[in-house]
Amino acid sequence: MYNEIQQRILQEYQDGEFANLCEPDATEEDLENCGDGLLIFVIHEVADSEDCDSVNEAYKRISRAENDLCDILKIIADGKEIG
């Protein structure tokens, strides 16, 4: 169900808290209901269905997201409304 990159993330993120999502009986619904929006976003970003076909592509995508999150942190720190 998950590619190698996704499996590694699921197994190692938050000290393996979500490794159970790699089990054979785990479903996409289990991921959607895991309660961690960041994890859901990352797993979707590095999916084969999103044409993420290499470790380098996964790294680029998550790096872009990191930059966006840093921009959001600056907005919050400046006390500006996000909207």
Give the residue extent of every domain in the chain: 4-77
* DSSP SS3 for 82: coil
What average pLDDT does the structure give for the chain?
Answer: 94
Burial class (CB in 10 A: 0-12, 13-18, 19+), 23: exposed
Q: What is the DSSP letter of 28?
A: H
Residue 59 or 79, more confident: 59
Helices (H), the chain: 4-12, 28-32, 37-45, 55-77
Q: For the segment 54-70, what is each residue's pLDDT rounded down to a tens digit?
A: 999 999 999 999 999 99
Q: According to the model, what pLDDT value does residue 22 have? A: 96
Cα gap 54→70, rounded to integer Å: 24
Using a cut of 0.85, tell me whether the model's pTM lies above it.
Answer: yes
